[in-house]
Structure 1
Amino acid sequence: MFYLFLENNKITKLSLRGIPHFEQMFLIMNLFSRIKFIELQQISDYSVEPIIRGALWKIQITNNNHLKPLCVHVDEESHDELEKLQKMINSESLLEDYIIYRRHDKYYLKWK
């Protein structure tokens, strides 16, 4: 029955809060393969860099073509790591054609 639910689910937007570990985020991304938008709160005490790296890595290995924008909440006081994130994405070839920006306490990442 659960497998049938996974095959036929139509969930396209997902907001995850209170996820203590990356593995749980990856499991959820696997279960809901038709997700088009995912919003993550900062996971435990991780910085935004490993969260975005892990999500993009997971998208690449699962070949999830549905998911395009990614939103990650950060602490309002946290440093602006936009340049650092761009360098990471480019140096690790995680995405080719993308836009990343920060608005208030959220980083948005969109790609084609």
Structure 2
Amino acid sequence: MFYLFLENNKITKLSLRGIPHFEQMFLIMNLFSRIKFIELQQISDYSVEPIIRGALWKIQITNNNHLKPLCVHVDEESHDELEKLQKMINSESLLEDYIIYRRHDKYYLK
């Protein structure tokens, strides 16, 4: 029954809130293969860098070469880490062609 659900699900937008561990986030990302947009609340006690690194790494190892637009919520007071994120993505070759920007309390990666 669950297998049929996974094969036939039409979920294309996913918003994850209150996920305490990366492993749970990855499991959910694997279950819904037709997702076109992923929104993540900042996982407690983690900065935005490991969240984005982990999500991109998971997309890579599942051979899903299509970057899904990714949105990560951060604390409004947290300092802007945009340049740091760009360096991380480039130095670790996580993506070749992408756009990353911050709007208010959210980072967007396309």
TM-score greater than 0.5 by the shorter chain:
yes
Question: What is the number of residues matched between the two proteins?
Answer: 110
How far residue 66 of structure 1 moved from its aligned partner, in angstroms, is: 5.0
- Between the aligned partners of 1:31 and 1:45, the Cα distance in structure 2 is 25
Calculate percent identity across the aligned residue pairs: 100
- Between the aligned partners of 1:32 and 1:66, the Cα distance in structure 2 is 14
| Residue 90 to residue 67, structure 1, CA distance change in 2 (3 Å) | closer
Whether the 8 Å contact between 1:42 and 1:51 is mirrored in structure 2 is yes
Structure 2 residue runs of 5 or longer lacking an equivalent are none
How far residue 76 of structure 1 moved from its aligned partner, in angstroms, is: 0.3
- Between the aligned partners of 2:14 and 2:68, the Cα distance in structure 1 is 13
| Residue 22 to residue 91, structure 1, CA distance change in 2 (3 Å) | same
TM-score (norm 2): 0.96
Q: Deviations over 1:20-39 (max 9, x none)?
A: 00000000000001100000
How far residue 63 of structure 1 moved from its aligned partner, in angstroms, is: 1.7
Structure 1 residue runs of 5 or longer lacking an equivalent are none
Whether the 8 Å contact between 1:53 and 1:89 is mirrored in structure 2 is yes
TM-score (norm 1): 0.95
